[in-house]
C-alpha cells in the first residue's frame, strides 16, 4: 500500500463507515422480520402443523442472492396503503430476501428451545440465544449482497472509492480495509458468544467437553474393566429409544447419520449434535470400508436420559478397537510426511464426551456418549 492510497483510505473512512451502518441496519431489519416469523413456524411445528413444517423446509432452500434479484424487480418501488404511498427501498427488499433464511434457521432452533422448555430444561433452551446471535453475525456479512441492487452499503461504496482513487493497485487495499470493518464488528461478538456458552455450561453445572484420556493402554483397560459392556453410566439393559439395523454398504453412512440427527436433534444443542453426527459418519464409514463385517448388519441403538445421549454401534468382523488399534497420527509432522490414516479416529475421540469400545461375543461394540447440560460427570475418550 502506497502512502497516497493510505491517505485516501483515511479520507474516505467516514464515507465507508456510513456504508457499513447500512449493513447493520439491513441485518437488524432482517433479524426483526425473520425471528418472529421463524418463531411462529416453530410454534406451529410443535403443535404438529404440517404447513409450518413445509414452510420451514421451503425457507431453507432458496439462494439468498437469487431472492434479492427477484424481490428487487418483482416488488414495486412503492405501494399504496389507503391514502398513503409507502416507499419500498432497496434495503427493505434486501432485508426481506435475507429474512427467508433467518425464518428457516429460527424455526429449527426455536423448535428445539421450545421442546427443552416443555421438558423444564431452561439452560438448554438458552442455547438458542448464542445460536441466534451467531446467525446475526452471518447475516451481517451476507448483507453485502445488497450491493447488487444498488443499496449504498459498504461494498457498494468501496467500488465508489476505488473509482475515485483511480488506481487499480488500490483495489486490494480498499477491499482489505472493508474486511477490517466486518472483523472489528464481528470478532468481539464471536468471543463474547464463546464466553456466553461457557457460562451457560457452568450455570448448569455441566462438564460437557471435558475429556480425560487414559495416559496408557493400561488406563484404557481400567476404563473398560469398570464397564464390561463398554459403557460409562448408561444402563445396558434399558430399552433403547430408537433401534434399527442397516446392511454394511456405502448408503448406510448417510442413512444412519440422518437417523441419529433426527432422534437426537431435540436433546442436544446444535454444536453437540454436529459433533455426534460427524463422529457417527466417521465410524460407520470405517466399518463400511475396512470392517470386513462378513455380511452382518450394523446395529444401532439410541438412548436418551436427563444427563446424556448415547449411540451404540454393533457390527461383526475381526476384533478391532479404533481408539487404540488405529495408527496414531503424527500431528507434529509436516502434512506431506504424515502417514495416511488415524486422523479421523483422533478427531472422533476429541469430539465425543465419552467414546469407548468393547468386543463381546464376536461383535465389535462402540458406544458414543454426549453429555447434556446439567450432567455432573466428566468424560472419557479411550
- The rounded average pLDDT for each run of 10 residues, N- to C-terminus, in the chain (382 residues) is 81 93 96 96 91 89 77 81 84 91 91 81 79 90 88 92 85 91 90 74 44 39 36 56 88 88 84 85 85 80 86 87 64 43 56 80 86 52 41
Q: What was the pLDDT predicted at 203?
A: 55
Enclosing H/E stretch for 261:
helix 251-264
Query: What's the predicted TM-score (pTM) here?
Result: 0.58
Looking at the domain 217-371, which fold is it? Heat Shock Protein 90 (3.30.565)
Q: What was the pLDDT predicted at 140?
A: 93
Do 363 and 316 touch, CB atoms closer than 8 A? yes
CA separation, residue 104 to residues 67, 79, 270, 303 (Å): 15, 27, 14, 28
Q: What pairs with residue 242 in β-bridges?
A: 302
Residues of the chain with CATH 3.30.565.10: 217-371
- Right CATH number for 3-203 from 1.10.3720.10, 3.40.190.10, 3.90.950.20, 3.40.50.2300? 1.10.3720.10
Q: What pairs with residue 356 in β-bridges?
A: 367
Enclosing H/E stretch for 176:
helix 171-203
Nearest to 124 by CA among 311, 319, 267: 267
Q: Which residues of 250-264 are buried (b: 16+ CB within 10 A; e: fewer)?
A: eebbebbbebbeebb
**Could you tell me the maximum CA-CA distance found in the chain, to the nearest angstrom?**
82
Do 87 and 97 touch, CB atoms closer than 8 A? no
Q: What was the pLDDT predicted at 170?
A: 84
Q: What was the pLDDT predicted at 375?
A: 45
Enclosing H/E stretch for 299:
strand 298-305
Q: What was the pLDDT predicted at 218?
A: 40
CA distance 347 to 40: 38
Nearest to 266 by CA among 299, 241, 231, 245: 241
CA distance 252 to 285: 9
Q: What was the pLDDT predicted at 15?
A: 94
CA separation, residue 301 to residues 60, 147, 256, 264, 278 (Å): 30, 50, 11, 12, 17
Q: How far is CA 286 from the centre of its chain?
A: 23
Q: Residue 114, exposed/middle/buried by CB under 10 A (0-12, 13-18, 19+)?
A: middle
Q: What pairs with residue 303 in β-bridges?
A: 310
C-alpha cell at 339: 502417514
C-alpha cell at 137: 453475525
CA distance 356 to 379: 11
Residues of the chain with CATH 1.10.3720.10: 3-203
Amino acid at each position: 500500500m502506497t502512502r497516497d492510497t493510505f491517505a485516501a483510505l483515511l479520507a474516505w473512512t467516514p464515507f465507508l463507515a456510513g456504508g457499513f451502518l447500512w449493513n447493520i441496519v439491513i441485518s437488524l431489519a432482517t433479524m426483526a422480520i425473520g425471528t418472529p416469523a421463524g418463531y411462529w413456524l416453530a410454534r406451529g411445528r410443535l403443535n404438529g402443523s404440517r404447513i409450518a413444517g413445509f414452510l420451514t423446509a421451503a425457507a431453507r432452500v432458496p439462494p439468498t442472492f437469487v431472492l434479492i434479484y427477484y424481490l428487487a424487480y418483482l416488488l414495486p418501488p412503492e405501494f399504496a396503503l389507503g391514502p398513503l404511498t409507502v416507499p419500498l427501498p432497496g434495503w427493505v427488499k434486501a432485508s426481506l430476501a435475507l429474512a427467508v433464511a433467518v425464518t428457516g434457521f429460527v424455526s429449527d432452533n426455536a423448535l428445539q428451545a421450545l421442546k427443552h422448555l416443555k421438558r423444564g430444561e431452561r439452560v438448554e433452551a438458552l442455547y438458542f440465544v448464542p445460536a441466534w446471535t451467531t446467525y446475526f453475525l452471518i447475516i451481517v456479512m451476507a448483507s453485502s449482497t445488497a450491493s447488487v441492487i444498488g443499496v449504498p452499503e459498504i461494498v457498494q461504496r468501496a467500488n465508489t472509492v476505488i473509482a475515485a482513487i483511480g488506481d487499480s493497485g488500490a483495489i486490494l487495499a480498499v477491499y482489505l480495509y472493508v474486511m477490517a470493518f466486518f472483523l472489528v464488528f464481528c470478532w468481539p461478538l464471536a468471543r463474547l458468544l464463546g464466553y456466553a456458552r461457557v457460562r451457560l455450561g457452568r450455570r448448569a453445572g455441566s462438564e460437557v467437553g471435558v475429556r480425560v484420556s487414559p495416559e496408557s493402554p493400561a488406563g484404557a483397560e481400567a476404563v473398560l474393566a469398570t464397564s464390561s459392556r463398554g459403557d460409562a453410566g448408561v444402563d445396558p439393559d434399558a430399552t433403547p429409544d430408537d433401534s434399527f439395523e442397516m446392511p454394511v454398504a456405502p448408503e448406510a453412512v448417510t442413512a444412519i447419520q440422518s437417523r441419529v440427527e433426527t432422534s437426537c436433534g431435540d436433546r442436544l444443542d446444535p454444536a453437540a449434535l454436529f459433533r455426534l453426527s460427524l463422529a457417527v459418519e466417521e465410524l460407520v464409514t470405517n466399518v463400511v470400508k475396512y470392517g470386513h463385517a462378513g455380511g452382518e448388519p450394523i446395529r444401532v441403538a439410541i438412548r436418551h436420559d436427563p444427563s446424556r445421549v448415547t449411540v451404540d454401534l454393533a457390527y461383526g468382523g475381526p476384533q478391532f478397537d479404533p481408539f487404540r488399534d488405529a495408527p496414531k497420527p503424527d500431528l507434529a509432522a509436516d502434512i506431506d510426511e504424515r502417514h495416511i490414516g488415524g486422523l479421523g479416529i483422533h478427531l472422533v475421540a476429541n469430539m465425543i464426551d465419552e467414546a469407548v469400545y468393547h468386543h463381546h461375543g464376536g461383535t465389535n461394540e462402540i458406544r458414543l456418549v454426549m453429555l447434556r447440560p446439567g450432567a455432573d460427570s466428566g468424560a472419557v475418550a479411550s
